[in-house]
Amino acid sequence: MTDHSSDPPARPAPSSAPVGQAMWGGRFSGKPAELMQAINVSIGFDRRLAPQDLAGSSAHAAMLQSVGVISSEDAAAIQGGLQQIEAEIAAGTFPFREEFEDIHMNVEARLRELIGPAAGRLHTARSRNDQVALDFRMWVREACERSLGQVQALQLALLAKAEAHADAVMPGFTHLQPAQPVTFGHHLMAYVEMFGRDATRFQDAALRMNESPLGAAALAGSPFPIDRQMTAAALGFARPTANSLDSVADRDFALEALAAATICATHLSRLAEEIVIWMTPQFGFIKLSDAFTTGSSIMPQKKNPDAAELVRAKVGRLLGSFTQLTVVMKGLPLTYSKDMQEDKVPTFEAFDALELSLLAMAGMVGDLEPNREKMAAAAGAGYSTATDLADWLVRELDLPFRDAHHITGAAVKQAEAAGVALGDLPLAKLQGLDNRITAAVYEVLTPQASVASRKSYGGTAPDQVRAQVARWKELLG
């Protein structure tokens, strides 16, 4: 159906060909089937590359003029036309037309309408292959930079909450079982670290992709005396790519950005899950205002953490996008294949979802209010200071940790049987386990004392938390 080369050569002139085909239809005598158009057309989604396409074309035209490939009159006409197109897009009047397939040919076709035949000179020493590689790379670079800014805004929101609640005790969990008391500030700062690594992943990805593929042309480079350094510099790239085949075939820059985005989304999903858990009446650790919750149409008492739940779910889209593009790229022979047109939708969708998630999460974090009393009460439950008792036995009585662990286990068993907290077990009971235990032990059995004692670097003691907040404030300042 699509093999036009087998069409009889003596068909009517290309004047009957659809407009889009006029761009490349010199050797074609038949029209593409309607279905061919339907599967081929990408303007519906690649119109998002318009700003990058215009910037790339402008830099290319300036370079062609500077090396003497096109006249200054033609270059001026091209630049003027590109500016007008930019204005039309901004005003919403630019005609995005399916018959011109994609954004590149839509821009060129409009340019021809505006400035006449000089438009045809813009495509000298260029192909849609390096053009789309350039546009998409610039889009992904900007998406990484935007994500970086949004991650940092979220980190600032977390920092503010962490500082305000550096000393608020809460249970720290392993296996979602109460483990040892920590502070709410410390818990939030754990996410500041995770998002900090996400930020550097976006930075690294943006840095690694920062080479311009423009000038690779179709795949082999150009016979014209083009200046690739010039276009690279004009478009903010560190340098031109060094292999023309790689330039048009590579999409690993997008894969890397999607991987970074997916990892970031998993961090968002974990925090979202904690917000959901903390908001249940059973936990009651935090309150979210009406801004990020919804009610139920049947149960009047309900306040549901929908925004958190949606952030928790969005990672599915992100991973789906990463998977999609990986599967598109795997096994593709060098260099460009039309398969690669399928790179854009998943990438756009992924970054749209990430952006919404990051903004919503920053909003929720700024909005949430911890219930310090409830968290403190829960921090003392579940024999959470058992390790503190064992550590006291090691420190004060010089017991080997294993023996201290055993004695503490017996104390927990007795407290459980008596239905009391560890700190409410009578001294006589404790002395029954080792008669050298004194009343001083009770000082380490409160959650406050427990967290205050964990002063090791990176530990949960409020002073350590404040020190980390200060370090991050400086880093992000």
Q: Looking at the annotation, which residues are catalytic?
A: 175, 296
- Name the segment binding ligand ARG (CB under 6 A); options: 57-65, 124-132, 290-298, 371-379: 124-132
In the complex, the smallest distance separating the C-beta of residue 34 from ligand ARG, rounded to whole angstroms, is 18
In the complex, the smallest distance separating the C-beta of residue 43 from ligand ARG, rounded to whole angstroms, is 9
Q: Is 132 in the site for ligand ARG (CB under 6 A)?
A: yes
Q: What is the 3-state secondary structure (H, E, C) of the chain?
A: CCCHHHCCCCCCCHHHCCHHHHHCHHHCCCCCCHHHHHHHCCHHHHHHHHHHHHHHHHHHHHHHHHCCCCCHHHHHHHHHHHHHHHHHHHHCCCCCCHHHCCHHHHHHHHHHHHHHHHHHHCCCCCCHHHHHHHHHHHHHHHHHHHHHHHHHHHHHHHHHHHHHCCCCEEEEEECCEEEEEEEHHHHHHHHHHHHHHHHHHHHHHHHHCCEECCCCCCCCCCCCCCCHHHHHHHCCCCEECCCHHHHHHCCHHHHHHHHHHHHHHHHHHHHHHHHHHHHCCCCCCEECCHHHCECCCCCCCCCECHHHHHHHHHHHHHHHHHHHHHHHHCCCCCCCCHHHHHHHHHHHHHHHHHHHHHHHHHHHHHHCEECHHHHHHHHHCCCCCHHHHHHHHHHHHCCCHHHHHHHHHHHHHHHHHHCCCHHHCCHHHHHHHCCCCCHHHHHHCCHHHHHHHCCCCCCCCHHHHHHHHHHHHHHHC
Q: Which of 118, 122, 340, 411 binds ligand ARG (CB under 6 A)?
A: 340
Q: Which of 53, 102, 163, 198 binds ligand ARG (CB under 6 A)?
A: 102
Nearer to ligand ARG, 103 or 260 (CB): 103
Q: Are 184 and 165 in contact (CB under 8 A)?
A: yes
Number of residues near ligand ARG (by CB under 6 A): 10
Q: Which of 341, 384, 460, 468 binds ligand ARG (CB under 6 A)?
A: 341
In the complex, the smallest distance separating the C-beta of residue 338 from ligand ARG, rounded to whole angstroms, is 6
Query: Rg (Cα) of the chain, in Å, rounded?
Result: 31
Q: Which of 60, 110, 128, 187 binds ligand ARG (CB under 6 A)?
A: 128
Nearer to ligand ARG, 20 or 240 (CB): 20
- Name the segment binding ligand ARG (CB under 6 A); options: 85-93, 169-177, 263-271, 338-346: 338-346
Q: Which of 52, 65, 106, 129 binds ligand ARG (CB under 6 A)?
A: 129
**What's the gap between Cα 403 and its chain centre?**
48
Which residues in 140-199 contact ligand ARG (CB under 6 A)? none
């279905």: which residue's tokens?
Answer: 35
- Name the segment binding ligand ARG (CB under 6 A); options: 13-21, 78-86, 126-134, 350-358: 126-134
Nearer to ligand ARG, 336 or 351 (CB): 336
Q: How far apart are CA 103 and CA 87, in angstroms?
A: 16
In the complex, the smallest distance separating the C-beta of residue 342 from ligand ARG, rounded to whole angstroms, is 8
Nearer to ligand ARG, 52 or 152 (CB): 52
- Provide the token pair at 60: 């290319």
First and final C-alpha spacing in the chain: 60
In the complex, the smallest distance separating the C-beta of residue 201 from ligand ARG, rounded to whole angstroms, is 26
Nearer to ligand ARG, 336 or 392 (CB): 336
Which residues in 344-373 contact ligand ARG (CB under 6 A)? none
- Name the segment binding ligand ARG (CB under 6 A); options: 58-66, 127-135, 360-368, 374-382: 127-135
- Name the segment binding ligand ARG (CB under 6 A); options: 60-68, 75-83, 202-210, 333-341: 333-341
In the complex, the smallest distance separating the C-beta of residue 285 from ligand ARG, rounded to whole angstroms, is 48
Spell out, one character per residue from 41 to 70, where the chain touches ligand ARG: x when CB under 6 A holds, - when not: -x---x------------------------
In the complex, the smallest distance separating the C-beta of residue 85 from ligand ARG, rounded to whole angstroms, is 18
Nearer to ligand ARG, 50 or 389 (CB): 50
């630019």: which residue's tokens?
Answer: 94
Q: How far apart are CA 365 and CA 275, in angstroms?
A: 9
Nearer to ligand ARG, 209 or 248 (CB): 248
Nearer to ligand ARG, 219 or 277 (CB): 219
Q: How far apart are CA 346 and CA 254, in angstroms?
A: 10
In the complex, the smallest distance separating the C-beta of residue 271 from ligand ARG, rounded to whole angstroms, is 35
In the complex, the smallest distance separating the C-beta of residue 219 from ligand ARG, rounded to whole angstroms, is 9
Nearer to ligand ARG, 131 or 408 (CB): 131
Q: Which residues bind ligand ARG (CB under 6 A)?
A: 42, 46, 102, 128-129, 132, 336, 338, 340-341
